[in-house]
Structure 1
């Protein structure tokens, strides 16, 4: 049976060649381009509503968020007009009743109420981040929000790549209420994170080229408990981790590393990541990846391909290439049905 996915990418306004949101299929390891679902300007991040036939797109370089009605299997129709966001909106997360947008360009975090049909209301704005390393009398560094994640507790955690910090929030009446600021090392650049069912949180650092492990204490606050490198060949400042994912068996992590053109595999021992190995992504700038059963799809942004790999049954390394599909400037792959 063919499995279908939406693929977002950078269009000319973002330095790419994508025409918008495309539909892609995979069947027995073979990838197929199923056509343009809807034209859009740099829909760099996509997310699907968990119960409604609605897809949301971050139109990064327009600074807008758009909602689309999913029609059939291969087509999208606009659901209202795009709604303003912040500069370089790069990530979207769903809470069920709200959509949260993270904006790299100006650090804004916006909370959009969702109508019963999934359409977007006007957003509220979370409090701005403050640089924890600011020096009195000197200008602070720019805030770069990059991801919001809804935790199993219902709380929300956000990353700020520019301020080397994470913030933990409660969502109440459409507003984010700050609970904790987690300060990492200066220069880490936290980008994306995942939560394990055990409660550990794993954070990929774009500038530090590590995975940081956080653990909650009895009060529910998070503390750093470990740092794991991605291999001797992965160098901070030269190689830049992007997407971080937890595999379906919950016993390993995958990290796409731009510049090194690799997918790194980390095992989990007592919750702490340990390096297993890595494999070439067969392209340039692996911006995003997605596990599909016992295979993995990798979006190689700068070489304009999506690659399909078989995951090794023993160590999980995506070393066997199944297929390659030309796809213009791909930046995000999401399943048509929310998982």
Structure 2
């Protein structure tokens, strides 16, 4: 199997030269349990920290984090890709791209400015027409309401557009435009300073729903797509300082949310009226106080979930219980790398990207318990941040 690698280049303190490529055993095979071998960079570019694939076309989309842009790449050979169209501006530190199941649009998430940006995709796979979604409101802020109204969201978006149109010379005349970004307070800290919005991921759910996470404001927001952009239809506030990072959709109809700062897997569920709420939370036992959670992935049968933990460099192994509304931790195992930024499951193989150790490793899962064994194969790969299996 072929694995495309996202990574950090020198502009973000990394060693990658662009999008990388690893062969896992037979590059044309359906499994990834064979020897890992690094190929030359597919294409040179600036810090493609996240990669996402078009559902029908041989096109991938890269979040160029340092430049704040999304770039499409078209496949021109088994191991060859080239830029498709021009890069599209998204926002500061764009760190994730999610492509709609019909391939007609994508959603980009931006960490530094908190933007959630919807882009159209044409028949050739070229993205364009970015539309910024309404900004998040801190549910723990002094002026935030529990459920922001649509009018409030429109005003927030209008205010931001006005500041951008005014430019640096007159932006200070718009209220709030000169508020400095404050460090994210921890769960036990109290601060009157405004917390920054930190959008981190978007996911398309069944029925046309879109979910996004805001790590800075402890929000999980739900949207509907429209020709004019994303429309907010609901949100769930997680505990203060939890830091929702990435999500996972379970076949039972539940949404699993990995929190970066509190290192938990939170289960969300919707009632018959479509209102989402928090059902349970499972802490990753054995993680350390200064650890941060990174990625969440699931086995093909939906029975086992893996949560990556940076710092102690481990993987939490959890079993799905009940109707999918709760999880139980089975084990905490060595990730085999330093700073496990991302991991994916391919059949019976777990692949982990070690951002700081500069390598990708593979492990075999126990067919009965789902617990991964020791590292079977390892390959040096410069500053990997994302693994994308491609046929």
Which TM class, normalised by the smaller chain length?
over 0.9
How big is each residue's C-alpha offset from its partner over 1:168-215, in whole Å with a ceiling of 9 and x where there is no partner? 001011511100021111100000011111111110000111111111
Q: Which residue of 2 aligns with 1:130?
A: 137
| TM-score, with structure 2 as normaliser | 0.83
How big is each residue's C-alpha offset from its partner over 1:197-245, in whole Å with a ceiling of 9 and x where there is no partner? 11111100001111111111111111111010111x2134x11110011
Q: Quick one: which of 278, 283, 303 aligns to 1:229?
A: 283
How big is each residue's C-alpha offset from its partner over 1:233-268, in whole Å with a ceiling of 9 and x where there is no partner? 2134x1111001121110111101001101111001
Q: Which residue of 1 aligns with 2:97?
A: 92
Q: Quick one: which of 212, 229, 232 aligns to 1:158?
A: 212
Q: Quick one: which of 198, 208, 220 aligns to 2:274?
A: 220
Deviation at 1:139, TM superposition (A): 4.0
Q: Which residue of 2 aligns with 1:81?
A: 86
CA contact (8 A) 1:159 1:191 kept: yes
Structure with greater strand share of residues: 1
Q: Quick one: which of 228, 253, 277 aligns to 1:199?
A: 253
- 1:283 equivalenced with 2:337 (yes/no): yes
Q: Which residue of 2 aligns with 1:71?
A: 76
- 1:49 equivalenced with 2:54 (yes/no): yes
Q: Which residue of 2 aligns with 1:269?
A: 321
How many correspondences in the alignment? 333
Deviation at 1:9, TM superposition (A): 0.3
- Give distance in 1, aligned partners of 2:329 and 2:274: 28
State the superposition RMSD in angstroms: 1.2
Once the two structures are superposed, the pairs formed by residues 94-133 of structure 1 within 5 Å of their partners are 94-95=99-100, 96-133=103-140
- Give distance in 2, aligned partners of 1:214 and 1:333: 26
Q: Quick one: which of 292, 297, 300 aligns to 2:351?
A: 297
- Give distance in 2, aligned partners of 1:331 and 1:295: 18
Deviation at 1:152, TM superposition (A): 1.1
- Give distance in 2, aligned partners of 1:40 and 1:245: 27
- Give distance in 2, aligned partners of 1:68 and 1:98: 15
Q: Which residue of 2 aligns with 1:13?
A: 11
How big is each residue's C-alpha offset from its partner over 1:27-67, in whole Å with a ceiling of 9 and x where there is no partner? 14210112210001100000111100111000001111100
SS at match of 1:316: coil
SS at match of 2:366: coil
- Give distance in 1, aligned partners of 2:228 and 2:21: 32
In structure 2, list runs of 5 or more residues that go unmatched. Answer: 26-32, 145-191
Q: Which residue of 2 aligns with 1:333?
A: 387
SS at match of 1:80: strand
In structure 1, list runs of 5 or more residues that go unmatched. Answer: none
Q: Which residue of 2 aligns with 1:173?
A: 227
Q: Quick one: which of 311, 331, 351 aligns to 1:259?
A: 311
- Give distance in 1, aligned partners of 2:34 and 2:315: 18
CA contact (8 A) 1:35 1:74 kept: no
- Give distance in 2, aligned partners of 1:142 and 1:253: 30
Q: Quick one: which of 21, 24, 29 aligns to 2:22?
A: 24
- Give distance in 1, aligned partners of 2:349 and 2:193: 47
SS at match of 2:141: coil
Structure with greater helix share of residues: 2
CA contact (8 A) 2:358 2:382 kept: yes
CA contact (8 A) 1:209 1:235 kept: no
Distance 1:112 1:7, change over 3 A: same
